[in-house]
Amino acid sequence: MEKYGGSPTEEQVKEIVWDTLNSGKVIPGYGHAVLRITDPRFEAFLNFGSMHFPDDPIFKTVRIIFEVVPGELKKVEKIKNPYPNVDAASGSMLYHYGLKEFSYYTVVFAVSRSLGLTAQAVVNRAMLSPIIRPKSVTTHFVKDLVSKG
């Protein structure tokens, strides 16, 4: 955005993508080791931003990049997932709400992860159970399970 004096156009994003790939670097925020679809967390952030701050310049840039990058990455045969991961939008959310010190982004990430770990540690001690990897399920799944009694 500094280089273009604001949000780049789709054509400019294409240029940046190919300059980046040709220089041997990756496109940050795109691709995932496991997912083969647009990360649902990215979609949630995109919907949230569209609802609450559609005109934020950085958020707008995230949208433009999303319009362009998957189509370009699909042209690179070895890339198995050309779609955005959560990191393609999370920074624009933090920035919008005033957290502009980039070195803290990893800290925020670590804090949110440790909430899960510590909750699990409490359960492990209470139940004297071994450490497990909990299954990740949707709220819909839990409601369904409870209503079936």
Q: Give the interface with ligand COA as residue ranges (CB under 6 A).
A: 21, 26-33, 78-81, 85, 87
State the minimum distance, in angstroms, from the CB of residue 82 to ligand COA: 8
Backbone angles phi, psi at 21, to 5 degrees: -65, -45
Distance CA 80, CA 68 (A): 17
Task: Identify whether the C-beta of residue 88 lies closer than 8 Å to the C-beta of residue 66.
Answer: yes
Residue number, nearest CB to ligand COA: 31
State the minimum distance, in angstroms, from the CB of residue 89 to ligand COA: 11
State the minimum distance, in angstroms, from the CB of residue 130 to ligand COA: 28
Between residues 49 and 81, which has the closer beta carbon with respect to ligand COA?
81
What count of other Cβ atoms lies within 10 Å of the Cβ of residue 82? 18
- Can you tell me whether residue 35 is helix, strand or coil? coil
Between residues 34 and 146, which has the closer beta carbon with respect to ligand COA?
34
